[in-house]
Amino acid sequence: MVEGMVRMKRNELGRFAGRASASIRFGVLAGMALGCLAYAATVFAQHRMHGQPVKEDRNHPWMNASLSPDERAAMVLKEMTLDEKIDLVHGMGMPGWPREVQNPEPELGNGGAGFVLGVPRLGIPIIQMSDAAYGVRSSAENGRYSTAMPSNLGAAASWDPEAACAFGAVIGKELRAQGYSMTLGGGVNITREPRNGRTFEYMGEDPVLAGTLVGNLMKCEQAQNVIGDIKHYAVNDQESGRNEVDSIIEKRALRESDLLAFEIAVGIAQPGAVMCSYNALNGEFGCENKYLLTDVLKKEWGFKGFVVSDWGGTHSTVKASAAGLDNEEPLDEFFGEKLKAAVEAGKVPMSELDEHVRRVLRTEFQCGIVDHPMQKGVPDVEGNLATTLKVEEQSAVLLKNAGGLLPLKSAAVKSIAVIGPHANEGMMSGSGSAQVDAPGRPSAGWMAQVWFPQSPVAALEAKFPGAKVQFDSGANTESAAALAKSSDIAIVFVYQWESEGMDLPNLSLPVKQDDIIEAVAAANPKTIVVLETGTAVTMPWIDKVGAVLEAWYAGSKGADAVANILNGDVNPSAKLPMTFPKSEADLPHPKLTQPGPGQTGEAAVMRTGEAKPTFSVKYDEGLKVGYKWYDAEKKTVLFPFGYGLSYTKFSYSGLKVAPGKETGVSFTVKNTGSRAGGEIAEVYAALPGGAGEPPKRLVGWSKVWLKAGESKEVSLSIDGKYLSIYDEASDGWKLVPGSYTIMVGGSSQELPLTAKAELK
Ligand code: BGC
Domain boundaries defined on the chain:
2-366, 385-584, 648-759
3-state secondary structure of 724: coil
Tell me the CATH architecture of domain 2-366.
Answer: Alpha-Beta Barrel (3.20)
Q: CA-CA-CA-CA torsion for 176, 182, 186, 189, nearest 10 degrees?
A: -160
Q: Where are the beta strands (DSSP E) in 282-363?
A: 284-285, 306-309
469 neighbors 487 (Cβ within 8 angstroms): no
Give me the pLDDT at residue 141, please.
Answer: 62
CA atoms of 265 and 202, how far apart (whole Å)? 12
Give me the pLDDT at residue 423, please.
Answer: 98
Average pLDDT value for residue range 452-462? 97
Instruction: Give every CB contact of residue 556 below 8 A, 6+ residues apart in sequence.
Output: 135, 147, 148, 149, 385, 388, 439, 452
Ligand 1 centroid to residue 113 C-alpha, Å? 8
Give me the pLDDT at residue 596, please.
Answer: 74
Is position 57 annotated as part of the catalytic site? no
3-state secondary structure of 216: helix
The answer on pLDDT for 8 being more than 60 is no
Q: Which of the residues 87, 237, 310, 560 is marked catalytic?
A: 310
Give me the pLDDT at residue 101, please.
Answer: 60
* CATH class name, domain 648-759: mainly beta
Residue 377's pLDDT band (cuts 50, 70, 90): very high
Residue 390's pLDDT band (cuts 50, 70, 90): very high
CA atoms of 181 and 127, how far apart (whole Å)? 6
Q: Exposure pattern of 27-50 as b/e (b: 16+ CB <10 Å)? A: ebeebeeeeeeebeebeebeebbe
Ligand 1 centroid to residue 143 C-alpha, Å? 22
Q: How far is CA 321 from the centre of its chain?
A: 27
Q: Residue 656 carries which side chain, given as an amino acid letter? A: K
CA atoms of 435 and 295, how far apart (whole Å)? 34
Of 162, 153, 238, give the one whose Cα is nearest residue 579: 153
Q: What percent of the chain has pLDDT over 90?
A: 84
135 neighbors 174 (Cβ within 8 angstroms): yes
CA distances from 327 to 164, 349, 614, 707 (A): 28, 16, 25, 51
Give me the pLDDT at residue 410, please.
Answer: 80
CA atoms of 252 and 231, how far apart (whole Å)? 21
Of 337, 346, 309, give the one whose Cα is nearest residue 325: 309
231 neighbors 225 (Cβ within 8 angstroms): no
For residue 727, give the H/E element and its range.
strand 725-727
Residue 368, by phi and psi: left (phi above 0), alpha (psi -120 to 50) or beta?
left
Residue 732's φ and ψ, nearest 5 degrees, are -165, 170
Is 131 touching ligand 1 by the criterion CB < 6 Å? yes
Q: What percent of the chain has pLDDT over 70?
A: 90
The answer on pLDDT for 379 being more than 50 is yes
72 neighbors 358 (Cβ within 8 angstroms): no
Average pLDDT value for residue range 179-183? 96
Nearest CA to ligand 1 atom 11: 311
138 neighbors 131 (Cβ within 8 angstroms): yes
Mutation probe of ligand 1 site: the residue of 131, 237, 307, 309 with most atoms within 8 A of C-beta: 131
CA atoms of 315 and 280, how far apart (whole Å)? 11
The answer on pLDDT for 175 being more than 90 is yes
Ligand 1 centroid to residue 184 C-alpha, Å? 7
Answer whether CATH 3.40.50.1700 is correct for domain 385-584: yes
CA atoms of 459 and 424, how far apart (whole Å)? 10
| Predicted confidence (pLDDT) per residue in 625-650, tens digit | 999 999 999 999 999 999 999 999 99
CA distances from 42 to 77, 105, 401, 520 (A): 32, 12, 61, 60
- Strand pairing report for 427-428 and 451-452: antiparallel
Average pLDDT value for residue range 703-726? 98
Is 631 touching ligand 1 by the criterion CB < 6 Å? no
Ligand 1 centroid to residue 313 C-alpha, Å? 10
Is 329 touching ligand 1 by the criterion CB < 6 Å? no
| Predicted confidence (pLDDT) per residue in 738-759, tens digit | 999 999 999 999 999 999 999 9
Give me the pLDDT at residue 3, please.
Answer: 29
CA atoms of 371 and 365, how far apart (whole Å)? 7
Give me the pLDDT at residue 212, please.
Answer: 98
Kindly report which listed range (142-151, 245-254, 415-424) carries the lowest average pLDDT score. Answer: 142-151
Kindly report which listed range (400-414, 539-553, 643-657, 669-683) carries the lowest average pLDDT score. Answer: 400-414
Q: How far is CA 724 from the centre of its chain?
A: 27
269 neighbors 188 (Cβ within 8 angstroms): no
CA atoms of 475 and 584, how far apart (whole Å)? 27
Is 310 touching ligand 1 by the criterion CB < 6 Å? yes
Give me the pLDDT at residue 41, please.
Answer: 31
